Structure 1
């Protein structure tokens, strides 16, 4: 794309488009066939942004759209609420573009959160830390002062990484440079960071420190965390986007099994045996299934190499009624409760304290000693290990974005694993393929996003 074209796209999107590959497609003015593979927020948002300008086919392997934005209905003792079993939190500072889409454009109702933390060792009644909150003034928590001071220093250092846009400093680098006691680092600081990302302590030490702490420090305003939830679950956001589309054909329970280049277009074969022709293809897939598709293309090695650098770890999240993973004393219960058990540091969210609605719990349970006794739902996920190499792989992928009509979308393509980074990836594609689409114009001038490279 020419420099003038890049400038025009930047004006239209209100975001930096980023470095373009040598053979990236120029802005598309004619109506084209676009196949979007993957129906998470990135894929659905891409389809929504291209709606009306191109003929879009959206393929999703699962029975429904949403990906990590999966919500389950819970009815407990007369309380009815949609609980997000996957992605959940967002706000104006951590997710500025996504927040604008949800609250201003789609007008999906939200509920505020009370976010406080308790960190404790499995089997030990006294917590390692309990954070202040509306009903817990700091004067009542002086016994936890060393841990609270460690968190304050950690957040200050995380702010500095954000300001310097430093992805290379690892969690181990950052924590070892802290002024706190060495024992506190091992017993509290590393477990605290690990729990934010669902990682083991060893895995957490490898993380890019900026990536590990981004979603903890970005929403902090005047020492208060500004996060909300979608009242009816994040799946409501995906459903609203899909329902608004007019030129998008959506096929669920349909996996893309083959991707071939045929002349000037692509042939995508799905699991039902249908062949879809496309002028542009968007891979809105996690790295592993995306790599399996690009491996079928000629000269695929650079892309396959980039995808192989994205490392993931397993996680299992459960929605349950019993407070099995809460601290020993109810007085120490927070909305976000972190249990350290050896290498494992898993969290349990109390919905009653977080949002004041259903008395249910959302817990990471892959490494727990006990299963919930009143299980309502569970789902397996793969969380990214966002190391400095992961960030370098993003750049490798971004430099090829749009080459030969092949595009990449998803929360892994930019920044950290969030709904904001997924939406940002969709917007970079729309900036080239449909910068003046009706839905893009509805978003208006966009706030600066932390997902900007």
Structure 2
């Protein structure tokens, strides 16, 4: 029986999920430019005497409320997972101001904060922000096209509340500079915070992580597909006609019945030999932030007070020697806490350190790119559907929604539906209460 051929460009969760869903019915060829498969799912095995410690450096966690497709995939693959902690810590100028939101004890881990009126005002403003967020979500017409910065100005939130809480938390979530956070559409930002329990003290989702490192699920996907897919080196150009798509690498040409761009929007646009005006206009709306990432053991890139150590730690500085620090975000993930690593050595993953880890502590260095959801990007999201199927081309990736693992796999599921393939977990959901996958700008109360 003849099987149609499909090229998939990119081997992150979007590309791998697409390949896994399609491979029983199509001849699938996966193109990947990196030296490994998995994209942001990148586990590094760190040698320790007679064993190796698997440490995640990209995708680390998901939760039980906002990731239905990822949970469905993990259930199908029988991926072992465990509960994890998602605490947030803040450190300014290497100990000038530090706190963590885990408990009253960590909020006042620096006992001098008990006597700082500014710290009490910060806590009061956080509570006020939560109330304002709930009120605005009940009446979203009050913030139709406001950016986050405009919303904060309109409600007169202080500089301390912005700089020492809200913007660092948002920057750590979306891996972008604090100034970029101010350009995010306010309503989308508030909906995300509400969906993830970040404007409530209680009823927060339970976060989980993959046992043995997130790359375990990549290996499981590849093992299930086996010889039913072909893996090629990175694509450098894609030419299309009304009936086929041709993918070029540095050394060869491959012809297919269809091509799925499971890569960043800007990468997809750059690969197209003759993009349509619509493709240029829509895909051109998405920008990306490059984040230099280090796996290391240098505790100098953690809060000074160990009581403040959290799973996510935002490191801010106003010191003149780091004048460019505001143009990037610096955050350190404490991997022992996140992954429950069985080791006495503390392992950290730091994005964009304004002060590099000491050389003897660096284990690996990577570069990841994350989408920026400014108003242009959010306005373009509903228009992505108009590109699907044009000239035998489909587009998917986390940029279709909030930029996370669930958004990536959700977009892959939607594309695969166009090929007549629906995963079993979606079929199960359809027999109960379907939850539509909507673009970020019109998502309403639908969870990401």
Greater relative CO (CA pairs within 8 A, separation 6+): 1
C-alpha spacing 1:117/1:183, structure 2 compared with 1 (3 Å): closer
The match for 1:402 among 361, 381, 389 is 389
**In 2, distance between residues paired with 1:377 and 1:217?**
35
Query: Does the 8 Å CA contact 1:40/1:67 hold for their aligned counterparts?
Result: yes
With normalisation by structure 2, the TM-score equals 0.82
* Whole-angstrom distance in 2 between the partners of 1:282 and 1:161: 38
Range moving further from structure 2, 349-358 or 308-317: 349-358
Structure 2 residue aligned with 1:229 = 209
Out of 111, 136, 145, the position equivalent to 2:82 is 111
Q: Could you tell me how far apart the structure 2 residues matched to 1:360 and 1:111 are?
A: 19
Q: Secondary structure at the match of 1:56?
A: strand
The answer as to 2:266 corresponding to 1:283 is no
Work out the CA distance in 2 between the residues paired with 1:450 and 1:74.
Answer: 41
1:131 corresponds to 2:101: yes
CA distance in 2: counterparts of 1:50 and 1:88, whole angstroms: 26
State the match for 1:260 in structure 2. Answer: 239
Q: Secondary structure at the match of 1:304?
A: helix
Q: State yes or no: 1:356 paired with 2:336.
A: no
- Contact 1:346 / 1:363 at 8 angstroms: preserved in 2? no
CA distance in 2, matches of 1:123, 1:138: 16
Query: CA offsets, 1:18-71, max 9 Å, x none?
Result: xxxxxxxxxxx9842111111111111111111211111111122221011111
Q: Tell me what 1:334 maps to.
A: 310
Counterpart in 2 of 1:250? 230
> Aligned-pair RMSD on alpha carbons?
3.2
Equivalence for 2:428: 445
Q: 1:420 & 1:171 partners in 2: Cα distance?
A: 23
Contact 1:211 1:415 in 2 (8 A): no
1:342-373 deviations in whole A, cap 9, x for unaligned? Answer: 42542112123334324433333424123244
SS in 2 for 1:256: coil
Partner of 2:169, secondary structure, is: helix
TM-score normalised over the length of structure 1? 0.81
Quote the residue 2:369 is aligned against: 382
- How far apart, CA to CA, are the structure 2 residues paired with 1:392 and 1:70? 31
Contact conserved, 1:131 with 1:148, CA < 8 A, in 2? no
CA contact (8 A) 1:36 1:43 kept: yes
Distance 1:251 1:361, change over 3 A: same
Number of aligned residues: 415
Counterpart CA distance in 1 for 2:238 and 2:213 is 34
In the other structure, the counterpart of 1:23 is none
> Which stretches in structure 1 are left out of the alignment for 5+ residues?
1-28
* Contact preservation (8 Å) 1:132, 1:138: no
- What is the aligned partner in structure 1 of residue 166 from structure 2? 189
Q: Residues 142-188 of structure 1, C-alpha deviation per residue, up to 9 Å, x if partnerless?
A: 84554344444445555677775988442213322446444433444
1:216-271, Cα deviation, whole Å (9 max, x unpaired): 5433383444211111222222221222125742324x122232234522222222
Give the corresponding residue for 2:178: 201
**Residue in 1 that maps onto 2:445:** none
Q: 1:320 to 1:186 in 2, by over 3 A?
A: closer
Following the alignment from structure 1 to structure 2, what is the Cα–Cα distance between the partners of residues 285 and 109? 27
Q: CA 1:184–1:236 in structure 2 vs 1: closer, same or farther (change >3 Å)?
A: same
1:8 aligned residue: none
Greater helix proportion: 2
Matches within 5 A, 1:140-151: 143=114, 144-151=119-126
Greater CA deviation, 131-140 or 86-95?
Answer: 131-140
Alignment of 1:55-204 (within 5 A): 55-76=27-48, 80-102=52-74, 104-127=75-98, 129-133=99-103, 143=114, 144-155=119-130, 168-178=145-155, 180-204=157-181
Alpha-carbon distance in structure 2 between the residues aligned to 1:159 and 1:232: 38
Q: Distance in 2 between matches of 1:213 and 1:229?
A: 25
1:89 CA drift (Å)? 1.5
| Conserved 8 A contact 2:238-2:245 | yes
C-alpha distance 136-448 of structure 1, shift in aligned 2 (>3 A): farther
